[in-house]
Amino acid sequence: MDTLPVLSMSAVELANIQVPGGLARLSADLQNYQKHLEWLRRAGPVLRPLEPDLGALHARLERLVKRLEHLMSKLNLPRPSDPLPTLPSHGTHWAVVQAGHALFHSLHLYLDWAARALVLIRNKL
């Protein structure tokens, strides 16, 4: 999916991540993933068996975004604007399944990167 956040940060750039920019990017990217999960949940009956897992994942992302926003407000950092990704139409059942796999794979990689970034940011606070 072309509308998912892209990780283009090298190890050197990650080591030099700054608190304001890093937190803003994390917040915006996680909100983008939330929008994609909402889109996937509306895909219809093809993903009905996954609904409990999708709902739980969406709730956890929402809590993480709220915690990031709370931290940003404590640090007097501006809140990033809500992303408005252009999401594709749902298309065929197979296209929805493929999009779901792409979304989960991308989110898994992103959360691995985000955990590393948050550790580095925490050390700078």
Q: What does the pLDDT look like over 69-92, one tens digit per residue?
A: 999 999 999 887 877 777 777 778
Q: How confident is the model at residue 119 (pLDDT cuts 50, 70, 90)?
A: very high
Tokens 């493929």 -> residue: 98
Torsions phi, psi for 83 (to 5 deg): -70, 145
Torsions phi, psi for 91 (to 5 deg): 60, -145
How large is the average pLDDT for residues 15-43? 89
Find the largest Cα–Cα distance for the chain.
47
Q: What is the pTM of this model?
A: 0.85
Q: Is 123's pLDDT higher than 80?
A: yes
- What the chain holds in terms of domains, given with CATH numbers, is 11-124 (1.20.1250.10)
Q: How confident is the model at residue 15 (pLDDT cuts 50, 70, 90)?
A: confident
From the list 97, 96, 66, 95, the residue with the least C-alpha distance to 79 is 66
Average pLDDT in the chain = 86
Count CB atoms within 10 A of the CB of residue 43.
Answer: 19
How large is the average pLDDT for residues 19-33? 91
